Amino acid sequence: MKVAESVSEVRTWVNQRRGEGRTIGLVPTMGFLHDGHLSLVKQAKAAGHAVVMSIFVNPLQFGPGEDYDRYPRDMARDRALAEGTGVDLLFTPSVEEMYPRALQVTLRVGDLANRLCGLSRPGHFDGVATVVAKLFHIVEPDEAFFGEKDYQQLRIIQTMVEDLNLPVKVIGCPTVREADGLAMSSRNRYLSPEERRRAAVLSRALFDAARRCREGTTRAAELVQSVTQQLSSAGLEVEYVSAVREEDLGQVDQIDEPCRLLAAVRVGDTRLIDNVALEAGKGMKHVAAYVDR
């Protein structure tokens, strides 16, 4: 595995791989890798790509009072995990390399950002879109791989690619979960043992709603109310629970098209997000293992 810290190194390496007839898969991350990140690498490898993983804690997407300074970092561990999973090039730029001067031109996300996580994190998705656009221009990947856990982020990036005619295909990959269903996240390490136990209610409540939808409950308000009650009863601070269309994240009243049920909670000082697909009357094998735990 080659490790590059500069944009010029990445471009030289990518050009060499292109000259060999290789395609490029990009896995953007903020590091402190877990099995969710590594599953993206495996999917990129399975597609036959030379895989570039970036590790960059992007200051543009952290607001005042958020956890930029304490965001977990362990580059030695991350390098070992990336190499062991088959990453071909690890891009680890400094803030100065990515933003050598104060940016005069950035991206602004429209209505997709003005809901869900965007309500409590103004400017967050502008920062995400800006750094991902920079990575796309630096690496010029054929495909880029993102987890579905951050579903709003995934849809914003896919929409950015469509709106700006960027020559990359964005692949959404299934959320990877702990044995009890909790979605893997770098922030899970902040949870105390008691908070970790309560946090598992988030996925259980969502999976329960997905099952109820499959069995015939199609009123969005009923599903949202049920999840909200379960989260509150577990002592979780509910930021939002919302049933939305997958396409544009617009709120729905009935589950009669491809939809997602998304939620954000605080467990102590830690903010967690998760989501499940809602498909009325259809089997959902990927959640069945967790529903009754």
Binding residues for beta-alanine: 61
What is the spatial distance between Cα 45 and Cα 22, in angstroms, rounded to a whole number?
12
Neighbour order of strands in the sheet with 2-4: 2-4, 89-91, 50-55, 24-29, 143-147, 169-173
Is 37 an annotated catalytic residue?
yes
Contact 90, 65 (CB under 8 A): no
Catalytic residue among 37, 49, 124, 286: 37
Mode of pairing for the β-strands spanning 237-245 and 259-267: antiparallel
Q: Which two tokens stand for residue 52?
A: 């570039």
Binding residues for ATP: 30-37, 147-150, 176, 184-187
User: Which 3-state string (H, E, C) describes 89-146?
Assistant: EEECCCHHHHCCCCCCCCCCCCHHHCCCHHHHCCCHHHHHHHHHHHHHHHHCCCEEEE
Contacts of 78 (CB under 8 A, 6+ apart): 31, 32, 33, 55
Report d(CA 233, CA 239) in Å as an integer.
14
Catalytic residues: 37
